[in-house]
Amino acid sequence: MDEALIRSLTPGVLTVLVRRGADFAAAEDAVQDALVEAVRGWPDDPPRDPKGWLVTVAWRRFLDATRADTARRRREDRVEEEPAPGPASGLDDTLQLYFLCAHPSLTPSSAVALTLRAVGGLTTRQIARAYLVPEATMAQRISRAKRTVSGVRFDRPGDVATVLRVLYLVFNEGYSGDVDLAAEAIRLTRQLAASVDHPEVAGLLALMLLHHARRAARTAPDGSLVPLAEQDRGRWDTASIAQGVRILQAALARDRLGEFQAQAAIAALHADAPTAGETDWVQIVEWYDELARLTDNPVVRLNRAVAVSEADGPRAGLAELATLDDTLPRHTAVAAYLHERDGDLDTAARLYAEAAHKAPDLAERDHLVRQAARLNSRHRQGR
C-alpha cells in the first residue's frame, strides 16, 4: 500500500462526499470504511483511478448508512444523485476542506482537533500530544465535535485564525513527529498566502520555511537528534532561509504583530547567526517577551527561560524556570540543561535520566539518555 497516496487522496474524497450533501461525520465514517476496503483489496488488485475508486466506495457506504436512517423519498433522492462512473476530478480540495472544517458551530479547539483527525490524518494520540492533554480527553473532544456537526452541511467556511492553527499543528507534527506532513503544511500555507491578505498567514509561512530549512541538520546519520547549537549550519537550506526572512520582513512592516510573526522572528535570529556563539540571545529574549504577551503560553515561558540563561547566565535561567509549573512537557529536560550549564553535573545527569522517561518520542528519549550517560561518564573519570 502506498500510504502517501492514500493520505493525499483522502481530503479530496471527503470533500466530494460533503459536496454531494453528506454531513461531515457520516462522510468521514464512509471514507474510513472505503480506506479499509482499499487496504484489503488494493495490494492484489490496484485500481486504475484510485481517487475515483475511493469516491465510489465511500459514497456507497454513505448511502448504505443513509438507507437505514432516512425516509424512502430522501433515500431515493440521494440514490438518483449518484453520478455515472468516470474519472474523478484532479482538483486539490484540501485547503478548502480545512476552511469547511473550521465550522462556526465548533469552538476553535474542537475544529482544530476534528480537522487534524479527518483531514490531516493524525491519530488521536498525536493530536493529544500537540495539545498537551491526555489521549482520552482528546478522544472525547473529537467525538463531541463529530456529534456537534452531525447533520450539519459544511457550507459556511470558518475563520482564517482556526485554519492557521491547524496548519501550524500539522507542520509541527510533520517536523518533529512520526508522520511526514511538514512539506504538505508548507504547500497549503503557500496556497493560503496567495489567496488571503493577512500578515499572520505570511508569518506562519515564514516560520515554516525557517524551521524546515534546518531539517537536514537536525539528525545525525544514525538518526540521533542534533541540538541546534551543534548542528552543521552548512547543511541549512540558505535559499529557504532567505525566502523566509523576506516574507517575515514584509509582514512585520505592516505593524500588525501576531504570534506566528514573533515565532518567525526568533527563528530568523537563529538562522542569521553564523555560529551558535554569535546568536543574538538578548534580542531573542525580547521577542519571547512579545510572544508571551501575545499568547500567555507556559511553553513559551519555558523556552524563554532557556533564552534568558543564554543571555544572562544559567542562574538567571534557573530563576525563571522556578516560576513555572514543573509538570510542563520538557520542563525536566530544560532543568537538566540549565543545571549542567551551571556546573551541577550530578543534578543534571539525574534530571536528564528523569526527562528521558518522560520523552514524547524515541529519538528524544535516546538523546536524553545519551546526555545522562555522558555526564555520568565524566563524573566517574573525575573521581
Nearest residue to 340 (alpha-carbon basis) of 287, 378, 302: 378
The pLDDT of residue 73 is 47
97 vs 293, residue with greater confidence:
293
**CA 67 to chain CA centroid, nearest Å:** 37
Q: Percent of the chain having pLDDT more than 90?
A: 46
Region of poorest pLDDT, from 4-18, 61-75, 177-191: 61-75
Determine the pLDDT at residue 260: 97
Kindly state the average pLDDT of the residues 261-271: 97
Interval 19-43: pLDDT, tens:
888 888 888 889 989 988 888 888 8
How many other C-beta atoms can be found within 10 angstroms of the C-beta atom of residue 35? Answer: 19
d(CA 170, CA 116): 7
Q: What is the pLDDT of residues 142-190, one digit of tens each?
A: 888 888 777 666 565 667 888 888 888 878 876 555 555 788 789 889 9
Residue whose C-alpha is closest to residue 262's, from 293, 305, 236, 227: 293
pLDDT at residue 89 greater than cutoff 50 = no
Q: What is the overall mean pLDDT for the chain?
A: 85
* Cα→Cα distances 330→147, 196, 356, Å: 34, 35, 10
Cα–Cα dist 164/244, whole Å: 17
Give the mean pLDDT of 95-105: 75
Coil vs helix vs strand at 225: strand
Mean pLDDT computed over 125-131: 77
User: Rounded mean pLDDT of 57-77?
Assistant: 70
Cβ–Cβ < 8 Å for 164, 188: no
- Measure the CA–CA gap between 212 and 218, rounded to whole angstroms: 10
pTM of the model: 0.73
For residue 170, the model assigns a pLDDT of 78
For residue 219, the SS3 value is: strand
Mean pLDDT of 227-254: 96
pLDDT band at 122 (very low <50, low <70, confident <90, very high): confident
pLDDT reported for residue 379: 65
Looking at residue 65, its pLDDT comes to 84
Question: For position 72, what pLDDT does the model report?
Answer: 46
- pLDDT number for residue 179: 53
pLDDT at residue number 205: 97
pLDDT digits (tens, 9 = 90+) for 280-316: 999 999 999 999 999 989 999 999 999 999 999 999 9
Rounded Cα distance, 99 and 80, in Å: 29
Radius of gyration of the chain (CA): 24
Poorest-pLDDT segment among 21-25, 94-98, 198-202, 353-357? 94-98
Where does the pLDDT of residue 94 fall: very low under 50, low under 70, confident under 90, or very high at 90 and above?
A: confident
Q: What is the DSSP string of 150-205?
A: TT----S---HHHHHHHHHHHHHHHHHSSS--HHHHHHHHHHHHHH---HHHHHHH
Q: Provide the pLDDT for residue 1.
A: 61
